[in-house]
Chain A
Amino acid sequence: MKFPAIRLRRTAVAAVAGAAILAVTLTGCGAGQAASNDGGSATKGTINWWSWTPTNDVAAGEIAAFNKEYPNIKVIYKKVPIENYAASLKPALASNDGPDVYTVYNSGAYSAEVFAPYATDLTSNVKKMLGSDWKSKVYDGGVKAFTVDGRLVAAQYAKAGAGMMWINQGLFDKYNLKPPTTLDEWVNVCKTFRANGLGCFREGVASSGFATDTLHSIVDSFKPGVWADVVSGKSKWSNPTVAESLEMLRTLSKDGILDEGAVGLQQYPDVNNDFLVGKVPMIQMGTWYQQNASLPTLTAALEGAGVPADTPKITLMPMPFPDVAGKGNPATLFADVDAGNSVNAKSKKLNAATTFAVWLGHSKAGQQAVTNSLDSLATLNGITPQWDKIQLVNPELQRPALEKVTADLNTATESRAFGISAEVSQAIIDACQAMLTSDKSGADVAKDIQAAAETAKK
């Protein structure tokens, strides 16, 4: 019968169509084949470098310095906004067309560990550059953070520290105030500032982890060493020191030290802009903030904040975190390796990529280029910013202070973020927000952090 025949034919067409659709979808399945190649030349080629830091200007400077030694390796830098970095990098590395060099952090969503399966082992290359005692020539925190299962998966090139605060020296001078060293002094200083229409200590606790540094500083003020123990697992988050530190955070807000609305503010750009234009005299940032002591950088930052060109340039000065606990414990600094370059094992320009990755972190020229921008500290021992080449806003005041910060950091033993998983980092932010918006006790909130830490353990 012709009727069933047509039915059959139409079914066949549908089946073929369905199969075609399925075939297209299934071509998406299956892992990418590993690129079979010899890695190419070590001194020639074009490589792609992805990172969330540095800025395009600073990167251009670093690449220019690199090209002085290796003129035939072209480096294309792609700056991915930090909030999209992990999301962009994951699929890129899973494919065969990912970047040749990619920057990693010491912990969290884009740590060296997370992306270790895609990275090559750079030990032999670093050894070739610095000798077999290379470990003693570089920042040990970086070696620790970037060695995964015995392999050096990233070549560190930038270090950051935190725990200090930064003040607008001009505002302090204007009202004849000295940087506070105790809680009471801090309350009084803030009273004066507020009476004159300014903020005092502003921080963005909306989504980024800068409040973690503040909490860390407070914990160290109560009892040094507790934070390190908690992070390493020797102690729990639900211990009394953390609880009373969380209560102290609430006190800072209630006593008029911490500007209100913190949980609705972003550290960048809101708080950053407010500080740089002089609305707020004190903030807590890390060593990267010293770049705002450089006149050209500060000018560009003010431009970015949208203020007229004749806005006075603030004199940025570091300040130790006040002894809020009143127990006489000295203010601490904590440091971490801030960035390292991994080489994509699937890269077709493996050797050229390795040359660049290792050069940036382990050559004098590379490290000098990194640290002269002032937004990172060097990881290669003995490299400091060439202050003569840098134009500071107020060199007499700032240079000695900044040099001291760098020197102090070399003696810092605590880590800043290394060892804190993304879940715990989020839990700490949640805890700070809870202390500032609810009436929960510090002890209860600390228990919540511990709970998050326990579910996160793999």
Chain B
Amino acid sequence: MTMTASRKAGLTSERRSGRPGRLRRPAGLPWILPAMIVSVGLLYYCIVYTGYISTLDWDGASPLQRPVGADNFARMLGDTVFWRALGNTAAFFVVTLVVQVALGILLACLLHSRLYLKTFHKVLIFVPVVLATATTAPVFREMYAPDGTVNGVLHAVGLGDLAQPWLANGTSALIIVMSVQIWQSTGVVFVLYYAAIGQIDTEVLEAARLDGAANWRIIRSIVWPGVRGTTIAIAILTAIGSLKTFDIPFLVTGGGPSYATEFLGTMIYRVSITFSQAGYGAAISVVLLLLAVGTAIIIRVSSTRKENTDV
């Protein structure tokens, strides 16, 4: 404590004496510049460009660009497909978050216990994270086809009545899209929880065991509160990821049937590329960006709590 106080004193006095290169906290700007130039420079041009295009009626190719102000945004508010996509995004976010968190915590707990083949299981869960969506999507389409593997298994175990064209039904198609996402990213959630749980004090666990606490009680009262920070981080990243979702619905269902699996990403693609309405697509992109920025602010707010206070 005395050290801190004296350091603080030393800091202020040094600042006032104005010797730049020798400050306790030297200028950090040059250090962040490379990252800023590469990321911000490249990507902010894209943002500004998109914002500008959203006020145009333009097909993305011809030199003819007609300014229409906020018309694209007005159209979006009245577009049922847009609201459907937002609804799907919200449902997608909630379901994937709940399932991934549940699975992640459960698996992390299991793999912290004395069981066999732990590394084997850990690797298997993470392999889906590593594979590109473009390569795994056709596999899922084949699995859920009317004469695909899933129905085949149902027939084999005598549940043939349940066999149906899964991708042809709006609700089941959305569930399938969610399940592919869960398959693909539970690995990351698991690793984060595994690490966080590893940092829970074993003495607390021992004490709870001695008190006769059952497994479920331990999860509820010790593990869950203990990994709160991780859960918040995962929630925010899942929210942003849900808004950006494109690959899986695009490749597995094409956004259908009847827009049951339409997301903002697929809508932007359809509008900008297929319909050649670059302006409208840009408007949707702007809204997506704003929604995501709102969530980014939440990241910042929540991470400030964890931030090491500079001395």
Contact = CB atoms under 8 A, between A and B. Distances in A.
Interface stretch (A14-22, A43-51, A166-174, A218-226): A14-22
A28 B45 contact: yes
The majority secondary structure among interface residues of chain A is helix
A409 interface: no
A261 B255 CA distance: 16
B257 interface: yes
Interface secondary structure of B, over-half rule: helix
A207 B173 CA distance: 14
Contact of B274 (A265, A266, A422): A422
A429 to B, nearest CB: 8
B67 to A, nearest CB: 16
A114 B169 contact: no
A213 interface: no
B10 interface: no
A383 interface: no
A235 interface: no
Contacts of B253: 206-207, 264
Interface string A20-60: 11001110110000000000000000000000000000000
A25 B275 contact: no
Interface residues of B, number: 50
A122 B48 CA distance: 38
A109 B37 contact: no
A260 B274 contact: no
Interface in A267-298: 269-270, 274, 279
A423 B271 CA distance: 9
B155 interface: no
A314 B176 CA distance: 34
A218 B33 CA distance: 64
> Which of B147, B255, B259 has the most A CB atoms < 10 Å from its CB?
B147
A228 to B, nearest CB: 23
B27 A259 contact: no
Contact of B167 (A87, A108, A265): A265
A430 B62 CA distance: 28
Interface stretch (A3-11, A157-165, A349-357, A390-398): A3-11
Nearest to A94: B61
B168 A3 contact: no
A154 interface: no
Interface in B40-78: 40-42, 44-45, 48-49, 59-63
B14 to A, nearest CB: 11
Interface of A: 2-3, 5-6, 9-10, 13-14, 17, 20-21, 24-26, 28-29, 86-87, 90, 93-94, 108-109, 114-118, 205-207, 259-266, 269-270, 274, 279, 422-423, 426, 430, 433-434, 436-438, 456
Given A261-B146, A422-B274, 20 more contacts: A6-B20, A9-B20, A17-B33, A24-B42, A25-B45, A87-B273, A114-B61, A115-B61, A206-B167, A206-B253, A261-B145, A264-B165, A264-B169, A270-B142, A422-B275, A426-B270, A433-B258, A437-B169, A437-B258, A456-B275
16 contacts: A5-B18, A13-B27, A24-B42, A86-B276, A109-B275, A109-B276, A114-B59, A117-B63, A205-B257, A206-B254, A207-B253, A259-B146, A261-B145, A264-B144, A274-B147, A436-B168
